[in-house]
Amino acid sequence: MRRLPIYFLIDVSESMVGEPIEQVQDGMATIIKELRTDPYALETVWVSVIAFAGEAKVLSPLQEIISFYPPKFPIGSGTSLSVGLGKLMYELRQNIVPTTSEQKGDWKPIVFFFTDGVPTDKPRDIQGVIAEWKKKWQGSVNLVAVSFGKHTDNKILGELTENVLYFDNTDVSVYKQFFKWVTNSIKTSSLSVENNSTGFELAKLDDKTITKVDLSKQASETVVDDNFVVLAAKCQNTKQPYLIKYRKTVFENEYSDIAFDYRLVGAFRVDNSYFEMSEESGGNLKISTEKLKGAPTCPCCGNQFGFAYDETCGKIHCIGTEKISTCPWCGNQAQYGFGEGGFDVNRTRG
């Protein structure tokens, strides 16, 4: 039986922490549950999941949906398009059965690429991997790039595929509609295979939740996702990492000028896979605390102050009511107090 390989290439950078990654987690489970009820999908569809941030990892190798179990998604630092796309191309080379004079190979693979930000690679690395994709895979793979929210570099996505879509993820309820559309697209494609057609037929767009992207927007050349500020921290009591996430907010100031700051979204626990999925060197990226509005409690132990700064190692951790606190990053012990004015802290690439 010829397979219809479906790959999910999913951005798990820090800007996805919180509600977005939780909804993707639930959405993947829904997709598989629905596909198992479809006789055409059961016959042909095989699924793989690849996650990428600063590093990439195959969370689920290519397998038939009857034995597929939705993976747990990690979070990492950075949005390395070259690493993510490179891992995808490696998996395609290793797993796709080509058509030869002696056998009919797999149907043309379909890749759903989900991202919510801009690549943090160096421009030369991005252009290199895009050139490789165009030369070796663009004609033999159906790639659907989906922008989660309004902050994605759509011009770069447009270099990879003409199927660039925008998903308005501003409301939790629309995630169900979105993953229903993904499921229906896989079902229509598997039915197309059974009818000896192309094997690639996206479900109809509703023009509200999912729309076609205008690819005329200019590409960003930044190596940090400037739409969010994410700070890496550790719990003093449990030694577990967590991320503090701020979203960029544009407003009109008292002089009627346009200004912006970053406002707290929340603090989110992550496990140690965060470090595995992060770039080895995040660079010396700084943000002034004067630009950051709000501070969280610790999501790991509940300490009232989740944003304490250790000048010794330059890292962030939580503190409680203890007189002397111990930094879980470097072991430095000190008494903390409140200061006036802003100071620079290390930010991640987002």
Instruction: Give me the mean pLDDT over the 96-108 stretch.
Output: 89
Q: Give the percent of the chain with pLDDT over 70.
A: 93
* pLDDT of 256: 61
SS3 (DSSP) at 39: helix
Edge to edge, the sheet with strand 142-148 lists: 56-64, 45-52, 4-11, 110-115, 142-148, 164-167, 210-212
Q: Enter the pTM of the model.
A: 0.87
Nearest-angstrom CA–CA distance, 235 and 329:
9
Span 169-179, average pLDDT? 83
* pLDDT, tens digit, 9 for 90 and up, residues 275-322: 999 976 655 788 999 999 999 999 999 999 999 999 999 999 999 999
DSSP 53-110: SSSEEEEEEEEEGGG--PPPP--BS---HHHHHHHHHHHHHHHPPPP-SS---PPPPE
Split at pLDDT 50, 70, 90, the class of 212 is confident
- Coil, helix or strand at residue 273: helix
Distances (CA, A) of 269 to 264, 293, 314, 336, 340: 15, 20, 20, 23, 29
CA distance 126 to 5: 25
